[in-house]
Copies of this chain bind each other. A is one copy, B any other.
Amino acid sequence: MKASIHETAIIAASAIIGENVEIGPFTIVGENVTIGTNTRIEAHCEIGVTGGTISDGALEIGSNCLIRSGTILYKGSKFGDGLHTGHKVTVREAVTAGDGLQLGTLCDIQGFCEFGDYVKLHSNVFISQSSILGSFIWIFPHVVLTDDPHPPSEVRLGCRLSDYCAIASHSTLLPGVHIGEGALVGAMSLVRDDVPENGICVGVPGKNIGTTENIKFKETGLQVYPWRRHFHRGYPDTVVKKWIAEFKNS
């Protein structure tokens, strides 16, 4: 099946557009952009923006992606399959992402950062340059990751987030902090120090106050974390099967 491109969309001659791709009204696709099969790009997007510091690079977008309207993706980045964006997302240059990246409405990814697989950002998350995120991470609305320890300076100390960690709404991570695997940052916390594996950090300034294993669901008394014990929506079957097996005896 051929691509379905709205007549008002502006598509550069060199763009490589896979089978069954849809491109909406008033969307612009620039030079050196590759879009995988079955990907849908909605209205008012700009895909393959030049003007970043490595603006001559290519932009690669995988298959089965959903790019919601108003989204801007710079050149020089590479996204795996199943990228889902909300509306009005901006991703600057030199971003590499695995499969299943979700970027909520208004997310602002500053470029030069890395995402593993199935990282999910809710609305309006700000990711500074040099951030390195593992896989299966959750970041909730209005979280800010910073990278400059002495603003303004030329020092860049990106944050590092390990697999399965979750950062609750409205928190700020100071430059260079490491959030350990499975750790939880409470809402509206200011994280100044590293958070250990399965640790909990809350407050302004943030304090490490224990481990996630003590958090139970009120109704059932079951252990909440690691969240992959119970939260499976939106992940591939192969992944979910592994998670179920991991916890079947606990």
A residues whose Cβ falls under 8 Å from a Cβ of B: 8, 10, 25-26, 28, 43-44, 46, 49, 51, 66, 68-70, 72, 86-88, 90, 105-106, 108, 110, 120, 123-124, 126, 128, 138, 140-142, 144, 146, 148-155, 166, 168-170, 172, 174, 187-188, 190, 203-205, 215, 217-218, 224-225, 227, 230-231, 233
Contacts and interface: CB of A to CB of B under 8 A. Distances in A.
Nearest to A166: B151
Given A138-B152, A154-B230, A154-B233, 14 more contacts: A10-B25, A46-B69, A49-B69, A88-B90, A90-B105, A90-B106, A124-B124, A141-B144, A144-B169, A146-B168, A150-B215, A150-B217, A172-B187, A187-B190
A174 to B, nearest CB: 6
A204 B172 CA distance: 13
A25 B28 contact: yes
A168 B151 contact: yes
Contacts of A218: 149
Contact of A203 (B70, B187, B204): B204
